[in-house]
Structure 1
Amino acid sequence: MTTPVSPFSFVLETPAATPEEARRHFLAKLSVETDPADVQLDLERGKKGFVVVDVRAKEAYAERHVPGAFNLPARTISAETTAHLSKDDVIITYCWGPGCNGSTKAAARFAALGFRVKEMIGGIEYWVKEGHATEGTAPRGTPVYAKRGDT
């Protein structure tokens, strides 16, 4: 049986952006996002100019975090807790994964304090899924999951 052809399209209901509008949009998106593969490669290469910040709770950070990342829970970000950071560096925030907006909230807080910031999309979940090494007390292979109220 063939599916009837409909004149309506969910995909095309809203017209696509012009190529220039699309280019501007995607460049703007890339200016505030990065991903685990790019962060890992730059860390591996010893690149400078950015600092990785795990914005989850202290206990979650202790269990597993990106090597070299430091912990600053999202709700504790303030002028006082960030005074030791250089505004010359880009702050890379991450939390649990796509289902967690703690890194988004943290990025907004850092930006409000005058820092340039990017969010590492996918968080620690995708860092682990991509096979990158972690530091912490959790044995390798332990599932990554968020506990309620953990950012």
Structure 2
Amino acid sequence: MHIIYNVIQIAAPKHEVIGVNYEPDIHLITQISTLNRGCQVLLVGQKMAESKKMKQMLEKSGIYHLNLQSVDIESIHQDSQFFKHIDMICTSQSVFDYMREISPNPEKVVNFSFIINRASLSVLKTRLVAVQIKN
């Protein structure tokens, strides 16, 4: 939420700023949900904070039956053992192509994709209509 506050401080009063919340894409949730209880899922981001955020989002979506391990790309460089016994590798967009290249099983690598949640999308659409009517 700090980011939106900073943007508002810079943009206001000339521009309206609308914050949106995002969540994991339903196709990603469905794909991960089909894994058996206890499967190992490696969450890889450019930075550790990014992979931890992915883990939080999956848990918030109800994914508790898997062993989710958060790592950053630097950890992957230092220790290739991360690939052993992994059922799925879920990556941020920034490292997706690279992880597919270095993974012994590129078919196990999936992109952690997002969608704008319904409430935020509704607010955004409503504001756009209001602005169009005003102009």
Range of TM-score over shorter length: 0.3 to 0.5
Q: Which has the higher strand share?
A: 2
TM-score norm. by structure 2 comes to: 0.43
Bigger helix fraction: 2
TM-score normalised by L of structure 1: 0.40
